[in-house]
């Protein structure tokens, strides 16, 4: 016969799929009853209608049967408002210093911040962000994306994320796709409505995404910045002085020329430039011949001006790779380029 303590011990390895903490540590396990090898218990969820309830039940049943239970009965309830407030206070205490600064922003936090930027839109900055993040995750790194392009948010659609972040009081649990945690303004607007804010509100929301999001433990947080050198880029530079930057351009001379402004700004703000990514560098036909649809030399010219290197030349995707999902499979041609870029980033940082 399993005792209550044995049941709790068996369940310490079962984690809330969103908070990534033990359901025992979170005090979610209640009313344990055992009769012979049968175990009955209640699990109190953080919110009603938790989308991952089935996953929690499956993990509980597997853990208890591995501990010797022959059958398991699980019922579900929900935390009270007071319990949710206590939980969010506990999560925030873990993530924020006494002065209100996110602990992840401290130089010793272990989080590497990478701002992905460009001089103009349409060069594939967000494509680079999500594919680099996914490649880092495949290499075993804990990765998040902060879609800081408040006006031109696109990350949720590009990663085909339909589930919005779970909200526990005022704390957001990021959505997860391809092993990457994601936060974006796109989750908080209806029917693709535009965001019409000025500088102070932009700063508030960027800070809110950092302070009131339960990111958990991260190795990398990628920030998809809006193109150019506007308010968000300036705020991020002030908020995260230790951030490193990747500048994205196409081979076209005009795109490269405009991108140089973002690079110069990075130097002014003392951000280390990891390198230049030349996106849409060429198209390789069936015979292996490269066709330079946007010309050549833009990435090299930009890298020379910024005294940096071209760390990747990403080709156009082959027709069979255009599946509608902007995250390329690791075995695809484009996916391999991003895998190599991720390995290079890990080596550099």
How confident is the model at residue 202, as a pLDDT?
A: 58
How confident is the model at residue 94, as a pLDDT?
A: 81
Q: Which of 225-239, 268-282, 335-349 has the lowest mean pLDDT?
A: 225-239
pLDDT range class, residue 62, cuts 50, 70, 90: very high
pLDDT range class, residue 196, cuts 50, 70, 90: very low
How confident is the model at residue 107, as a pLDDT?
A: 84
Question: 3-state class of 175 per DSSP?
Answer: strand
Asked if residue 201 has pLDDT above 70, the reply is no
Residues 6+ apart with CB under 8 A from 79: 44, 45, 46, 47, 87
Which of 284, 347, 299, 309 has the alpha carbon at shortest distance from 124?
Answer: 299
Mean pLDDT value across the chain: 87
Tell me the pLDDT tens digit for each residue of 82-124: 998 888 888 888 877 777 778 888 888 899 999 999 888 889 9
Asked if residue 195 has pLDDT above 70, the reply is no
Indicate the pairing of strand 220-224 with strand 244-249. Answer: unpaired
Tell me the pLDDT tens digit for each residue of 24-54: 999 999 999 999 889 999 999 988 766 678 8
How confident is the model at residue 259, as a pLDDT?
A: 77
Share of the chain above pLDDT 90, in %: 48
CB 155 within 8 A of CB 145: yes
Q: What is the mean pLDDT of residues 153-164?
A: 88
Give the neighbor-by-neighbor strand order of the sheet with 272-279.
175-177, 180-184, 143-147, 220-224, 112-118, 244-249, 272-279, 310-314
Structure tokens at 65: 């049967």
DSSP string for residues in 7-52: HHHHHTT-B-TTT-SBTTTTT-EEEEEEETTEEEEEEEESSTT-TT
Report the C-alpha dihedral over residues 262, 268, 272, 276, rounded to 10 degrees. Answer: 20
pLDDT range class, residue 169, cuts 50, 70, 90: confident
Q: What is the mean pLDDT of residues 249-276?
A: 82
Half-sphere exposure of 149 (CA within 13 A, CB side): 22
How confident is the model at residue 197, as a pLDDT?
A: 45
Q: How far apart are CA 192 and CA 151, in angstroms?
A: 11
Which of 101, 333, 296, 75 has the alpha carbon at shortest distance from 210?
Answer: 101
Question: First vs last Cα of the chain: how many Å apart?
Answer: 52
Q: How far apart are CA 172 and CA 46, in angstroms?
A: 12
CATH topology match: 4-79 vs 103-348: no
CATH topology (fold) of 103-348? Rossmann fold (3.40.50)
CATH topology (fold) of 4-79? GMP Synthetase; Chain A, domain 3 (3.30.300)
Asked if residue 226 has pLDDT above 90, the reply is no
pLDDT range class, residue 341, cuts 50, 70, 90: very high
How confident is the model at residue 136, as a pLDDT?
A: 98
pTM for this predicted structure: 0.84
How confident is the model at residue 193, as a pLDDT?
A: 56
Q: How far apart are CA 349 and CA 346, in angstroms?
A: 5
How confident is the model at residue 200, as a pLDDT?
A: 53
Q: What is the mean pLDDT of residues 200-228?
A: 82
Q: Which of 72-81, 93-102, 193-202, 261-270 has the lowest mean pLDDT?
A: 193-202
Structure tokens at 81: 């408002």
Which of 179, 242, 162, 188 has the alpha carbon at shortest distance from 216?
Answer: 179
- Beta bridge mates, 221: 113, 144
Q: How far apart are CA 34 and CA 4, in angstroms?
A: 7
Q: What is the mean pLDDT of residues 271-294?
A: 91
List the domain boundaries for the chain.
Answer: 4-79, 103-348
Half-sphere exposure of 42 (CA within 13 A, CB side): 7
pLDDT range class, residue 308, cuts 50, 70, 90: very high
What secondary structure letter does DSSP report for 287? T
Top-confidence residue, 242 or 238: 242
pLDDT range class, residue 7, cuts 50, 70, 90: very high
């Amino acid at each position: 016969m399993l005792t209550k303590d044995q049941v709790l011990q068996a369940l310490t390895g079962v984690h809330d799929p969103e908070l990534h903490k033990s359901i025992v540590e979170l005090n979610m396990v209640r009313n344990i009853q055992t009769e012979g090898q049968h175990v009955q218990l209640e699990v109190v969820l953080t919110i009603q209608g938790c989308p991952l309830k089935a996953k929690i039940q499956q993990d509980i049943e597997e853990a208890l049967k591995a501990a010797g239970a022959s059958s398991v009965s699980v019922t579900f309830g929900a935390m009270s408002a007071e319990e949710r407030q206590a939980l969010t206070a506990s999560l925030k205490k873990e993530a924020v210093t006494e002065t209100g600064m996110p602990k992840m922003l401290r130089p010793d936090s272990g989080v590497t911040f990478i701002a992905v930027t460009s001089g103009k839109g349409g060069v594939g900055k967000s494509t680079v962000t999500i594919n680099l993040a996914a490649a880092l995750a495949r290499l075993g790194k804990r990765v998040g994306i902060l879609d800081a392009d408040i006006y031109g948010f696109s990350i949720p659609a590009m990663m085909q994320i339909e589930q919005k972040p779970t909200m526990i009081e005022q704390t957001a649990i990021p959505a997860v796709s391809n092993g990457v945690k994601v936060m974006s303004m796109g989750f908080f607007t209806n029917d693709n409505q535009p965001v019409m804010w000025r500088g102070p509100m932009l700063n508030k929301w960027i800070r809110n995404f950092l302070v009131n999001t339960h990111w958990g433990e991260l190795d990398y947080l990628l920030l998809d910045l809006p193109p150019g050198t506007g308010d968000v880029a300036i705020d991020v530079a002030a908020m995260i002085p230790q951030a490193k930057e990747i500048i994205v351009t196409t081979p076209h001379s005009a795109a490269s020329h405009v991108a140089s402004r973002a690079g110069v700004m990075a130097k002014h703000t003392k951000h280390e430039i990891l390198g230049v990514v030349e996106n849409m560098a060429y198209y390789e036909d069936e015979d292996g011949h490269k066709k330079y649809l946007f010309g050549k030399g833009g990435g090299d010219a930009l890298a020379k001006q910024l005294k940096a290197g071209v760390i990747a030349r990403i080709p156009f995707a082959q027709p069979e790779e255009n599946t509608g999902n902007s995250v390329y499979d690791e075995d695809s041609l484009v996916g391999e380029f991003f895998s190599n870029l991720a390995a290079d980033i890990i080596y550099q940082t």
